[in-house]
Amino acid sequence: MALVLNVNGVRHEVDVDPQTPLLWVIRDSLGLTGTKFSCGIAQCGACTLHVDGQPVRSCSFPVSLAVGKTIKTIEGVSSDGNHPIQRAWKELDAPQCGYCQSGMIMSALALLQRNPNPTDADIDAGVTNACRCSSYHRVRKAIHLAADLMKADA
């Protein structure tokens, strides 16, 4: 059965089992590999993307629940890699291995969209993704910088 998905503003029809986690449809049916697989049980957040603006751990989110909604992945954050959050990440050289960073950026972006001035405590509560390299120190600084850049751009 074909399902219709709206991903990064583009309409796609996919023929998959409706129970398939959204992650695998995004990565394998649509070829958008920026969203990562790591734990498969919604613990680490490497697979975080947005469904109707909300951060979702797509490894444990059936594709059928995303039908009719707006999906945004790391590839949809900007066309040129220069969204304020991406500029902030580059300015602070935040990633190390980088594998968790797509999910980290999507979680942080969701936080900034609902809270343009997050405190450290807001970041602690709002960004619960795991990073094994422990890039957290620079990620925290980058979130604060991104908040400033987003306001400057607005």
Query: Which residues lie near other proteins (CB under 8 A)?
Result: 17, 20-21, 24, 28, 31-41, 43-44, 46, 73-75, 77-78, 81, 86, 89-90, 93-102, 105, 120, 123-125, 127-140
- Tally the C-alpha atoms within 13 A of residue 72's C-alpha that lie toward its C-beta: 14
Nearest distance, CB of residue 123 and other proteins, angstroms: 6
* Residue among 62 and 113 whose Cβ is closer to other proteins: 62
Nearest distance, CB of residue 28 and other proteins, angstroms: 5
* Residue among 70 and 99 whose Cβ is closer to other proteins: 99
Would you call 56 helix, strand, or coil by DSSP? strand
Would you call 55 helix, strand, or coil by DSSP? strand
Nearest distance, CB of residue 36 and other proteins, angstroms: 7
Q: What Å distances lie between residue 106 and 94, 99, 134, 143, 147, CA to CA?
A: 14, 13, 17, 11, 14
* Residue among 80 and 152 whose Cβ is closer to other proteins: 80
Q: What Å distances lie between residue 73 and 50, 79, 141, 146, CA to CA?
A: 7, 12, 23, 18
Nearest distance, CB of residue 48 and other proteins, angstroms: 12
Please report, as a single letter, which amino acid is at residue 141: K
* Residue among 4 and 133 whose Cβ is closer to other proteins: 133
Would you call 22 helix, strand, or coil by DSSP? helix
